[in-house]
Every structure is written in C-alpha cells, then in structure tokens.
Chain A
Amino acid sequence: MGNQQTYFKRATLVLVMLAAFGLWLWIMGGTALGAANPGGQGSSLPWWAWVIILFVMTFAMGIVAVLGGVGGGVIFVPIVSGFFPFHLDFVRCAGLLVALSGALSAGPGLLRVGMADLRLALPTALIASAASIVGALMGLALPANVVQISLGVTILGIVAIMLLAKKSEYPEVKESDKLAQMLGIHGTYTDFSTHQDVQWKVHRSPIGFGLFVIIGIMAGMFGLGAGWANVPVLNLLMGAPLKVSVATSKFLLSITDTSAAWIYINSGAMLPLIVVPSLIGVMLGSWVGVPILTRTKPTIIRYIVIALLLFAGARALLKGFGI
C-alpha cells in the first residue's frame, strides 16, 4: 500500500512537471519567443539568453532521452522546431549533429564489447547513408510547412511504433539467408546480465536492407536520427538479438547521420549558436541520465517520452498548418 502511494505521488509529480514544462514551452513558443511563426521577426531576447535556454532545455532532453531509451535527435527536432523560433533547416542540422555526437560517443564502447557489429552495420549504413542524402536534399528543397506537417505525422507514427512494436530479446533465426551468409553477418557477444555468450545470425536481409532506404530518407529529411526505426527492422525483421540491434542501431547513426549532416552543413544550416549548446546540453544530460536510469522505473519514463512526443508531434502538425 505504502509503495502504491509513493508510486502514485511520483507519477503525479512527474505529470505535474510535464504539464508545467508543456505549458511553459507553449507560452514561450506561442508568444514571447515567436516560435509559432517560422520566418517571423524572432524575439527580443539577446543571443546569450537563447544559448542558456537551449542548453538547459537540451540538458533536460538528454536526461529524458536516456531514461526513455530513445536517441536525442528524435526528441530534439520536434520539440525545438515546435517551441523555439529557429527555422526548421537549422533545427534539423542541429538534430542530426546531436544524434551524430551521441552515436560517436557510444560507438567505440559498443564496438569493443561486440554489441554493435561492424558487419551488420556496413551494408545497412551504406544504404541508409546514401538514402539520407536524398532525404536531406528533399527536406531542404520542400517548403518548410510541408516538412513540418510531414514531421508531425512521422512523430505521431513513431509514437504508434513505440506503443505497439514488440521486442524480442533473442529472436529465433533458423538459418541465415544467402546475402547475410555472403556478407558474414553473424557474431557472438557476452550478455552481462546472464553472463552467457550469445551467438546470433540474421535472416530476411534483402527486405531489411530495402527498408533502410526509407529509414535513411526519413532520417535525412527530418534530422531525427533513426534509432526508432533501425531497432525494429534489425530486431523484429532481421532477427538480430535486441541488444545487438540497439547497439548496432546506435552505431549506425554515426554513419547515416554523417552524410545527411554534411548536406545541411554545406547548405548553410549549421549555426554554432544553436548547434553547440544543443550538442553539449544533450551530451551532459545523457551522462547525468545514465546513473539516474538505475534508480528509476523505465516504464514510467518511457510513457513520459511518448507523451512528450505526442505533444511535440501535434505541435509540429499545428505549426505546419499555420495554427
């Protein structure tokens, strides 16, 4: 009973904080900061105030992202584009660099312990990175409101995936397909939770690789990173163990997002005043978030992330329609 009361109090506190956060963002976005009006006059706040606000916000996002088990980019783009006055071009570039930085930091560790697999990543990364260039070029060429509406729809789709997609810790793969055999996609990693070596292989590679074309285009177009899509394809479709899928997906972002990020950088969408505070904020938030992760209930946080994305997705849609 006592536990239930504590749980209820914590949940209420989290919901109140979330509501306050949402209200603050909404007020900020709609009025003082001029975020509801892309292409408008901006705000009267000095540049340094923006740097501080962005840093604080992205620090919080970094914590929430780690606790919710999602990448920084998928939270960053819808929230910052929805509630800050920055044009979507700059937000997408910053989003890609935020996701890229997270992947670059996590990549070495994941590769060393064999969780992320280079052989699995190589062909998928090639397809996704080429497609993300196309996505980035499309995103920069299309009118901002069209991209904003598409972003809103995509974010709501991600919410649906997060709510509905199942996960399989060790999917059953009876036999590798020919393509996977040819590319030598298989491996072994030590599962530290069970202290066992897990051998794995994949199947349905051609379909999986085909889906990475769509994933790459969406990553490049919206600057979201693409862990939300990589993991289900690697895990549920191709049959890689969940931990290998999550780790390889994280590593994949360091390649996929690189190509799209270059397109945005070379198109003048890299504003240091937006990119650097965001990048440092999310990174520091992630570092703070990891120890908190061991003391929180992941399910609650996951629902908070879903609520945030739902809110941000709806905001992106409304903004796209000029509401």
Chain B
Amino acid sequence: MSPLKASEAQLFYANLLNRLTLIGFALLVIAFLVYISGLLGSYVPLAQVPSYWTQSSHHYLQSAKITPGWSWLSHLNYGDFMVYIPITILAGVTIVCYLGVIFKFMKTKEYILVGIAILEVLVLSAAASGILQTGGH
C-alpha cells in the first residue's frame, strides 16, 4: 500500500494556513489604505518617513522615540501602528498552524514529530517575543 499523498496533519496545516493567510492579506490592504489615507493619523508623519528610512532601524527608533518590540500595541490609534496587526498575523500564522498540527501528531502517536513541532513553536515564540534584539549599529 502506498503512503498517503498528503497526511491528515498536512491537510489540516494547509487549510489553516490558507484561511489565516487570506485574513492577513485582506487586513493588510485595508490597514495600509487607512494608513496612507490619513484617516487615523500617523505616529510618525508620512512626510517625515523618508528622512528616517536612509538611517538604520536603531537610529529610526531613537529619533522617532519608538520603543522596540510589542509597544506598538499601545499605539493602535495610529495608522502606521495599525499596519502591524496584519503583519503580525502573517508572521504569526506559522506558530498557530504548528500548535494545531501538534495535536494531529499526538493523535497519530508520532511523538518525534510532536517534539520537533513543540521545539519549533518555542523557537518562533522566542523570535516573536521581542526578547531577542540587538543594540543596533
């Protein structure tokens, strides 16, 4: 008997990935239109952004007085920070899919894959947490 072309876990991952990605892209377009239309106002005025993008991100954070990491959550009333929501969804999709697939692997008692998936969630969560940053240059 030939193995399944796509396992149940793989199909589950694919479907979840598809849904979340579509939501992320739709929100990205909406959030960006809100941002550039000026409906919400910007934390960093649009006209000033070109003066920051020639410098490093470290310099940008210091000059624009932005705290790195997840501080944008407290500035969601600004259009530029609202764009972070769909970007976070797109960058977070994989973590959610992995969490879902862990249960699928547990159901089929594939414990090595469960272990790998848990480690991956930990790696991605560490990256997403904002703990890992550099001092800039």
Binding site for B on A (CB under 8 A): 34, 37-43, 45-48, 50-51, 85-87, 89-90, 93, 97, 100-101, 104-105, 107-109, 111-114, 117-119, 122-123, 125-126, 129-130, 133, 137, 140-144, 182-184, 186-190, 197, 199, 254-255, 258-276, 279-280, 283
Contacts and interface: CB of A to CB of B under 8 A. Distances in A.
B132 A263 contact: yes
Contact of A270 (B24, B28, B84, B130): B84
Interface residues of B, number: 71
Given A119-B113, A126-B123, A141-B135, A108 B54 contact: no
Contacts of B68: 266-268
Given A42-B50, A97-B87, A267-B136, A104 B93 contact: yes
Interface in B44-72: 46-47, 49-58, 60-61, 66, 68-70
- If over half of A's interface residues share one DSSP class (helix, strand or loop), that class is named, otherwise mixed; here it is helix
B50 A122 contact: no
A188 B127 contact: no
A97 to B, nearest CB: 7
Interface of B: 2-7, 9-11, 13-15, 17-18, 21, 24-25, 28-29, 32, 35-36, 46-47, 49-58, 60-61, 66, 68-70, 80, 83-84, 87-88, 90-91, 93-95, 101, 110, 112-113, 116-117, 119-120, 123-124, 126-130, 132-137
A259 B123 contact: yes
Contact of B53 (A90, A119, A126): A90
B66 A268 contact: yes
A255 B137 contact: no
A34 B54 contact: yes
B137 A141 contact: yes
Nearest to A34: B54
Contact of A266 (B112, B124, B130): B130
A86 B51 CA distance: 10
Contacts of B88: 265
Contacts of B130: 266
Contact of A48 (B11, B18, B36, B61): B36
